[in-house]
A and B are shown apart, each in its own frame.
Chain A
Amino acid sequence: MTFEVGSILNIGAILAVVIGVAAMLIWVERRLLSLWQDRLGPNRVGWFGLMQVVADMVKIFNKEDWVPPFSDRFVFVLAPAIIMTVILLSFGVIPFAPGVGIADSNVGVLFVLAMASLGAYSVMLGGLSSDNKYALLGSLRAAAQMVSYEVFMGISMLGVVALTGSFDLREIVLAQADGWYVIPQFVGFVIFLIAGVAESHRLPFDIPEADQEIVAGYHTEYSGMKFGMFFVGEYLGLVLVSSLITVLFFGGWMGPGFLPPVIWFAAKAFVFICFFILLRAAIPRPRYDQLMSYGWLFLLPLSLINLLVTAFIILSSQ
């Protein structure tokens, strides 16, 4: 069996690593947050508390997996599976290194966007089927937030696509051999970063599940492994957004030759994961209407201007 793009070995390895990393992030996040807040965090189970993830998993599997009798059972069970499925599918087009990846699609960027837009259903259907006022409020907020920020996310990626002339993520990485796109596309990078946080609805943009206002938002009624899937899905989203930033703006696996390409990719992605965790520790949550008006009145014009200027520069330099 060969180790090339799309081989069974490759797919299995990527699946295992991605899910493993997402699960480990639960521990990483808690430890890093504690570090920045001058606490210790979970450090009792195993080396530096590393086995805390295993302990949490055992706990979550043993919890009562309760489906509320007033809920819409079919949709209630379906919703958490959607988020895991679509985010794992998105990893299918990410090029991790030369020869490491699942598929090199010539519409890779669009595929990621399509999966991101399908991910909104998980949150919406979860809240709607719970038949709970807090859950419904959470999923209404999630729907508006995710549909809006998807727009800016897409437009901010278009600058990179225009520079490369391809929707293929591997081509985008290869086109950055002379210089990372973060320099010519800095505005696009910042917009993508903000939209990425909003799409994975993490703090400061965790308005759909704002604990202080609406209990736990869309997953108020979820327990056991169904809640666990929403939880791991959020971390998978974090890994996905960090990988996408690495691929689109920071040259993917490229780096000085003393480290293998996969390590470079992982290191770059890990920096962004840490940045997102720091963001959670540093910035408070905005109000819902502030989030929406910030998006439509500031990010949308900015991303359109960025795209226009990029297109103008490309055309005038030809």
Chain B
Amino acid sequence: MIILFYIAAIVAVISTLCVILQSNIVHALIYLILSLLAVAVIFYVLGAPFAAMLEAIVYAGAIMVLFLFVIMMLNLGKISTDQERSWMKSSGWVAPGIMAAILLAQLLNVLGDYEYDLVPVEVGVMEVSTLLFGPYVLAVELASILLLAGLVSAYHLAKK
């Protein structure tokens, strides 16, 4: 199982890098889907099958489909690819690179002190549900109100 974790982690990191480096937006999107699926595998290996499936259904399945839908509508062609490529070449890499390196160093520093306990405990659907509709019911309700507000405003905009 731990080998599966490392494979999925490497796939996730590489595909996420490809998302940033790709200048073709459809290719970038495919890499993003791959990255999300790899994260789903990581969730599964760590003992959270429900979260893994939700990651695949909601993020890789539904949200990315909507992204692709918008890309289809926009009719982006060679012009946007060239524009993206010109942005990639510029020296804008330096400052974000340094900041990301600092963050990475901090993360490695924190992880170095961490006590590892790599025995995954499987948390099933039932446990997640009892938590969601028990102590966290307020958060669930707030999230649903947020979604409802989004739905109503989208309906309003579409009606105009």
Contacts and interface: CB of A to CB of B under 8 A. Distances in A.
B26 A121 contact: no
Interface residues of B, number: 25
B26 A113 contact: no
Contacts of A146: 65
Interface in B8-67: 24, 26-27, 30, 33, 49-50, 52-54, 56-57, 60-62, 64-66
B132 to A, nearest CB: 15
A105 B44 CA distance: 11
Contacts of A180: none
Given A75-B27, A107-B50, A117-B57, A140 B69 contact: yes
B124 A121 contact: no
B26 A129 contact: yes
A140 B71 CA distance: 10
Nearest to A137: B72
A72 B24 contact: yes
A143 B67 CA distance: 11
B68 A121 contact: yes
A124 interface: yes
Nearest to A167: B125
Contact of B68 (A72, A117, A124, A167): A124
Contacts of A114: 53, 56-57, 60-61
A118 B60 contact: yes
Contacts of B68: 121, 124-125, 128, 143
Label chain A's interface by main secondary structure. helix
B15 to A, nearest CB: 14
B50 A120 contact: no
Contact of A117 (B52, B65, B69): B65
A142 B24 CA distance: 23
Interface in A86-119: 105-107, 110-111, 113-114, 116-118
Contact of B66 (A72, A113, A118, A147): A147
Contact of B61 (A117, A125, A129): A117
19 contacts: A78-B30, A106-B49, A106-B125, A107-B50, A110-B50, A110-B53, A114-B60, A116-B61, A118-B61, A120-B61, A121-B68, A124-B65, A125-B26, A125-B68, A129-B26, A139-B72, A143-B65, A143-B72, A167-B125
